[in-house]
Structure 1
């Protein structure tokens, strides 16, 4: 986080970083996702000194994430299903394909 960030942005950064780690992202990738998201939100709300056109004119990060949360034409990805199966401790998950993972998770 940039020096002088508000406590709200610090909390937001930590929440996004933790969520990315829970989804199975590496530590460095989770930090990158969190930093980019928070910096974009800072630019959108006028908290940063400079802001690119895409940061201020594009849809918000929260809206974009909601639209891309595994509800596409084919549903959640294999990796998303596998991560959830691992979290639920479903046995035999490593031998399952996407369809079997969906059935095991009740999706």
Structure 2
């Protein structure tokens, strides 16, 4: 299990409270907060995993997600040829499939 810094824990608590105030369930608020903290840790290079295994925050526009997140989402949607697509192609294929 990954040990978070005190700063990471404070960020998690702040984001979780914010999500709860917006009407999210406890589980959803914790998931959003954890994903956000972990993404920030990856961005800062504080984790060995440089890419995400997820599909990104579902409340985030496709254009704001990483190519890795879009490829994972395309895989969930069984979009063929996704490994050869650039970001714009992935976004178009995902929108067409939805």
TM-score by length of 2: 0.51
Distance 1:52 1:3 in 2: 16
Distance 2:5 2:37 in 1: 11
In angstroms, what is the RMSD of aligned CA positions?
Answer: 2.7
Distance 1:38 1:32 in 2: 10
1:38 aligns with 2:42: no
1:8 aligns with 2:1: no
Unaligned runs of 5+ in 2: 53-59, 61-98
> When the two structures are aligned, how many residues end up with a matched partner?
57
What secondary structure sits across from 2:34 in the alignment? helix
Unaligned runs of 5+ in 1: 54-63, 65-107
Larger Rg: 1
Deviations 1:57-77 (A, max 9, x none): xxxxxxx7xxxxxxxxxxxxx
> How far did residue 9 of structure 1 move?
0.4
TM-score by length of 1: 0.47
Show the counterpart of 2:18.
19
Distance 2:37 2:47 in 1: 11
Show the counterpart of 2:50.
51
Structure 1 residue runs of 4 or more that deviate by more than 6 Å after TM superposition: none
